[in-house]
A and B are shown apart, each in its own frame.
Chain A
């Protein structure tokens, strides 16, 4: 009798606390619930860069992809661009591809920005904001690290320093 009572009570309490814990957990993560989960395959996309070259993510299987979302108006994005450019030069021959996705700005604005900052890596414009939606991008800049298997390894929002960019690219080196 007594044992049964203890088992019953324990079971009920466990169920209740599990529900509470889940609710709290889900609530805290609701702002960082990404469409794209760490360890899951990164959603495929295809966008055209400023030179007219098509970039499809799945074509880069076997290479790491440093995927950066940015805007010309976003100060932190501007700050990290030179770092990304430097590291791109270091890593491009080591199997790490860099793609910078601009969110739906005009070609002019993007081109002028590229000129101003001497960016050498492919920059694509997400005109329909499809890719933005698929990756659930909130505030900019946002960076995804995709390993050679096509899986998301890391998600980062906020400015990057040069050592961070270097560390990130090292992480996805094939």
Chain B
């Protein structure tokens, strides 16, 4: 059986109790020598501090310690701060390699930063473990304190022990020849005026108000825990989506994470800037000074829903849901998704035009336009002239062997190998053509592909966002704030009045704002003949002052 502490008053307290839950008697020897009692948690037994036998108890006690909790929070704060010194990996240019980027940009510090893993801090295992430990610490700290505190406040007796009252910060004993019932009644009326709840037993009074403010920190912790759970739910598939969708003008693509249900067509991307002529004259100077100032980023889109049951790869049957002008801060919302204007790329080459030309005479034998997203194999002209597209490199570069290759499928830097057929050269002449560059690998050609022009299109980048955890975060935040308000704007105040022989003992306690309690006490005891309690902590500090 666990050890229990039986108080002289007969109440049985859990092991480790400092002040009897019922009468307030000091149960621990070393506390008895002190002038004032420590009223934190009402001197109740924080259970964690007492049992330390099994491994479960040890883990529990570790997390129950406020010191541990605060340490965890400080470490997390420090780590979070360090994480902001250089950009996180997701924010460095996507084409850069993180392993070299940090060193290149920030030198030795950058290298250290990368090596220690701070470039990906907020999803690193140890950072998550820190956050999780704070969560665990919150739960266990709260449970370990709220239960005994609740017990102690529920079981408290009206006529608390003399030793308890004497050791309160506000205390005074008044010796009276006779006690007038009138003045007691008067005190009770005044207490009620101040909205105290009054309990009476054996002529003693316990006046108490705003006990609920003691629960503030715990409500606050519940809110925090709900908030953390919300954060955790982001990792549950389907709860949180944050994807980037690049879409060219004229393209219709499936919207990611919608299970192939929704498609989006980009009609046009518009970038507007402020123009002097069109704006109010007041802005003329500002526009002149700043050059181009963006006014609007807009993508005109159509949203489609797939109506048929098609399998991937099949031409989808699309039903238009709506047309929308998508601007910054004006997302297109459908179901639980929202599409935000995120980025853009202007003037991506979409078509290139060439003319098959005689190098000497500049005579043209025909013009062709190559759709860079879908080039033809062959372009035929009149009179036996034609051009075969032998190779196409949308994003051309020479590799280490000086072979032409393409870096990606995006036409950033298109290059072609043409075979030009003419009546004079029925076997064809080969020409390699890139932007501002022509190579004739098999010697001098008679014909050339003369560049005629390009057609460009804009590409818009949209963020596809879905976040089902927001309501949970909002509720968590609200509960958090309720807890803060509850604990901050109300104070738990108690006044004890006990008659002991020809003495009246008065003591007062509050968890904060002692000044407020003193003012109330002054009001209550004014004219009652009972001397109002004095602040014993002042006395102690004064004494100390003198001694020094």
B59 interface hit (Cβ, 8 Å): yes
- In the assembled complex, B405 has its CB within 8 A of some CB on chain A: yes
Contact between B313 and A126 (Cβ–Cβ < 8 Å)?
Answer: yes
Answer whether residue A106 sits at the interface, using C-beta atoms and an 8 A cutoff: yes
CA separation between A5 and B313, bound complex, in Å? 59
CB of A6 within 8 A of CB of B54, answer yes
20 further A-B contacts with Cβ under 8 Å, apart from A106-B375, A108-B389, are: A5-B51, A12-B140, A13-B56, A20-B132, A23-B128, A23-B132, A23-B235, A26-B236, A30-B235, A47-B313, A72-B409, A73-B394, A104-B409, A107-B374, A108-B374, A108-B377, A112-B390, A124-B313, A129-B253, A130-B313
Check B389–A131 contact: CB distance below 8 A.
no
Whether the pair B60, A133 counts as a contact (CB closer than 8 A) is no
Q: List 30 A-B contacts (CB under 8 A).
A: A1-B1, A2-B2, A2-B51, A9-B57, A13-B59, A16-B140, A19-B135, A23-B132, A24-B125, A24-B128, A27-B123, A27-B235, A46-B311, A46-B312, A56-B311, A73-B409, A106-B374, A107-B374, A108-B375, A109-B392, A109-B394, A111-B377, A126-B313, A129-B253, A129-B254, A130-B260, A130-B312, A131-B312, A131-B313, A133-B260
Q: How far is the CA of A104 from the CA of B51 in the complex (A)?
A: 66
Q: How far is the CA of A159 from the CA of B374 in the complex (A)?
A: 28
Is B537 part of the binding interface, using a Cβ–Cβ cutoff of 8 Å? no
Q: How far is the CA of A6 from the CA of B406 in the complex (A)?
A: 65
Per-residue B-contact encoding for A122-142, CB less than 8 Å = 1, 0 else = 001010111101100000000
Report whether A5 and B47 are in contact in the complex, using a CB–CB cutoff of 8 Å: yes
- How does the 8 Å CB contact mask read for B412-435 relative to A, with 1 for contact and 0 for none? 000000000000000000000000
Bound together, the chains give a CA A105 to CA B409 distance in angstroms of 7
Q: Is B232 an interface residue (CB 8 A)?
A: yes
CB distance from B118 to the nearest CB of A (A): 17
B407 at the binding interface (Cβ < 8 Å): yes
Asked if B292 is at the interface (CB within 8 A of a chain A CB), the reply is: no
Residues of A within 8 A of B59 (CB): 13
Selected from B316, B389, B407, the residue in CB contact (under 8 A) with A73 is B407
Q: Does B256 contact A (CB under 8 A)?
A: yes
Sort chain B's interface into a size bin. Answer: 35 or more
Contact with A along B52-91 (1 / 0, CB 8 A): 0010110110000000000000000000000000000000
Query: Which residues in window 70-122 of A have CB below 8 A to B?
Result: 71-73, 75, 103-109, 111-112
Across the interface, B312 reaches (CB within 8 A) one of A24, A33, A43, A71, namely: A43
Give the docked Cα–Cα distance between A46 and B394 (Å). Answer: 27
Does B284 interact with chain A (Cβ within 8 Å)?
no
Say yes or no: A46 contacts B314, CB within 8 Å: yes
Chain A residues whose CB sits within 8 angstroms of the CB of B232 once the complex forms: 19, 22-23
| Cβ of B139 under 8 Å from chain A | yes
Question: Among the interface residues B2, B406, B407, which one has the most CB atoms of the partner chain A within 10 A?
Answer: B406
Bound-complex Cα distance A109 to B237 (A): 36
Known contacts A2-B2, A9-B60; is A128 also within 8 Å of B316 by CB?
yes
From 364 to 382 in chain B, residues with beta carbon under 8 angstroms from any chain A beta carbon are: 373-377
Q: Does A44 contact B (CB under 8 A)?
A: yes
Q: Does B136 contact A (CB under 8 A)?
A: yes
Q: How far is the CA of A58 from the CA of B128 in the complex (A)?
A: 42
Q: Which residues of B sit under 8 angstroms from A104, Cβ to Cβ?
A: 409
Tell me whether B273 is interfacial, beta carbon within 8 Å: no
Q: How many A-B pairs fall under 8 Å by CB?
A: 123
- What separation, in Å, do the CA atoms of A173 and B252 have in the docked complex? 38
Q: Does chain A have a CB within 8 A of B129?
A: yes
Contact B312 A6 (CB under 8 A): no
For the complex, is B456 an interface residue (Cβ under 8 Å from A)?
no
B60 and A108 contacting across the interface, CB-CB below 8 Å: no
Q: How many residues of A contact B (CB 8 A)?
A: 47
B-side binding surface: helix, strand, loop or mixed? mixed
CB distance from B146 to the nearest CB of A (A): 13
Annotate A43-82 by CB proximity to B: 1 below 8 A, 0 otherwise.
Answer: 1111100000000100000000000000111010000000
Residues from chain B with Cβ under 8 Å of A30 in the complex = 123, 235
Q: In the bound complex, how far is the Cα of B123 from the Cα of A73, in angstroms? A: 31
Alpha-carbon distance A103/B237, docked complex (angstroms):
25
- Whether A73 pairs with B60 at a CB distance below 8 angstroms is no
In angstroms, Cα B406 to Cα A75, docked, is: 9
Enumerate chain A interface residues (CB-CB to B < 8 A): 1-2, 5-6, 9-10, 12-13, 16-17, 19-20, 22-24, 26-28, 30, 33, 43-47, 56, 71-73, 75, 103-109, 111-112, 124, 126, 128-131, 133-134
Q: In the complex, what's the smallest C-beta–C-beta distance from A91 to chain B, in angstroms? A: 24
**Distance of A121 from chain B, by nearest CB (Å):** 17
A131 CA / B311 CA spacing, docked (Å): 9
**A27-B123, A130-B313 in contact; A103/B260 too (CB < 8 A)?**
no
Residues of chain A with a CB closer than 8 A to B390's CB: 112
Residues of B with C-beta under 8 A to A72? 406, 409
Q: Which B residues lie within 8 Å of A108 (CB)?
A: 374-377, 389, 392
Q: Which residue of B lies closest to A72 (CB)?
A: B406
Contacts known (A9-B56, A45-B312, A131-B313); A26 close to B51, Cβ less than 8 A: no
Given the complex, which residues of B lie within 8 Å of A12, measured CB to CB?
139-140, 143
Q: How far is the CB of A146 from chain B (nearest CB, A)?
A: 14
User: In whole Å, how far is B192's beta carbon from the nearest beta carbon of chain A?
Assistant: 41
**Is B128's CB under 8 angstroms from A27's CB?**
yes
| Contact flags B217-240 to A (C-beta < 8 A → 1, else 0) | 000000000000100100111000
Across the interface, which residues of A come within 8 angstroms of B391, CB to CB? 112
B408 an interface residue at 8 Å Cβ cutoff? Answer: yes
Give CA–CA (A111, B311) in the complex, Å: 25
Which chain A residue lies CB-closest to B61? A9
Residues of B close to A26: CB separation below 8 A: 235-236
Measured between alpha carbons, how far is A107 from B378 in the docked complex, in Å? 12
Chain B 390-408 near chain A by CB (<8 Å), digits 1 or 0? 1110110000000001111
Assembled-state Cα–Cα distance A49/B140 (Å): 61
Cβ–Cβ < 8 Å partners of B229 in chain A: 19
Out of B60, B237, B374, B409, name the residue touching A71 (CB < 8 Å): B409
Are the CB atoms of A133 and B135 closer together than 8 Å?
Answer: no
Chain B residues in 8 Å Cβ range of A6: 54, 56-57
Q: Within the assembled complex, what's the spacing in Å between the Cα atoms of A147 and B128?
A: 38
Q: Which residues of B contact A2 (CB under 8 A)?
A: 1-2, 51
Contact, CB under 8 Å: A73 / B312: no
